A and B are shown apart, each in its own frame.
Chain A
Amino acid sequence: MASWIFDNPLLAAAIGCAATSVALMLWYLVRRPALSHATKVVLLLGIGVLPIATATTGNVAGYEATKARSFCGSCHVMTPYSADSNDPRSTTLAARHARNADFGDDNCYACHANYGMYGTILTKLGGLRHVYEYSLHYRNMSLAEARAAIHIREPFPNATCMHCHSTQGPLWNLVKDHTSLLDRLRRGEVSCASAGCHGPAHPLSKQPWSAASTEPTR
């Protein structure tokens, strides 16, 4: 664990600031010095400056951690999806993207994030909804039950694919199916991740709002 932390300067800085602050607070609690100017400065460092530095670096590290596949897979109902991405022999769309060095460990986030001006905020709000739904509805569900109950909230937008695959590159346009479906792909009438094309994205993928759904999609 130590090497994992100290390989990342941000995490090391956060923990260093927190440790220094705790040491100052313990010194104050044990020694109980008078409130002199020196004590005020020590308390300013221990209660103000160092915790703010810890919170700032910790927030950045936290936001980065929420992009990792291991974070998504930490809820048990997501383990089949993360296990598929971790499987080097899997040929699903998600697994093939996980093997892309550009965003391999962050492949859940890269494909399920919102993009645009408010993309990050909308993605984080969506993540909060996931935690809410998991805590109240799926926490005690078996994997078999979760597999039937969990659906993608809305159809996967082609715009997310086109964030990287612009549909304008010459190699992309060499594929006849791409050129013949170009307008429908851009309008979102045909999904890149549909079964006849590049999908399904996950081994457990199913259409949203399918007949198998027993409750509103989440």
Chain B
Amino acid sequence: MTDDKRSIALRVCAVLTIIGLALMVWSILVPTPLPVMLAMTAGQAIGTAAFATYLVIVIRALRSELRP
């Protein structure tokens, strides 16, 4: 993966994280069924996807750095 692609993917991760956090905070501020269910499903799925993508990118970057 090139640096440009890595950078774009990490920016997507950052945006996804903000969306996931917005859903979670919405459920805290407005604890009604729809926000609570969205936070516990979509919010956490989006956050998990962002974190998983981040881990894949960073692990690949580290492996390429360590490769002789």
User: Which residues of A pack against B, CB within 8 Å?
Assistant: 1, 5, 11, 14-15, 18, 21-22, 25-26, 28-29, 32, 35, 40, 43-44, 46-48, 51-52, 54-55, 58-59, 61-62, 65-66, 68, 70-71, 74-75, 128, 131, 134
A64 — nearest CB in chain B belongs to which residue? Answer: B31
Given the known inter-chain contacts A54-B21, A55-B47, please indicate yes or no for A61 contacting B28, CB distance below 8 A. yes
Inter-chain CA distance A32–B3, complex, in Å, is 12
Inter-chain CA distance A74–B18, complex, in Å, is 27
**Can you report 28 residue pairs joining A to B where beta carbons are below 8 Å apart?**
A1-B29, A5-B28, A21-B17, A21-B21, A22-B18, A22-B21, A25-B17, A28-B10, A28-B11, A32-B7, A35-B7, A43-B13, A43-B54, A43-B58, A44-B54, A47-B51, A48-B55, A51-B24, A52-B47, A52-B51, A54-B21, A54-B24, A54-B25, A59-B40, A62-B40, A65-B31, A66-B31, A71-B33
How many B residues, CB 8 Å from partner? 33
In contact, A58 and B27 (Cβ under 8 angstroms)? yes
In contact, A18 and B25 (Cβ under 8 angstroms)? yes
User: Which residues of B pack against A, CB within 8 Å?
Assistant: 3, 6-7, 10-11, 13-15, 17-18, 20-21, 24-25, 27-29, 31-33, 36-37, 39-40, 43-44, 47, 50-51, 54-55, 58, 61
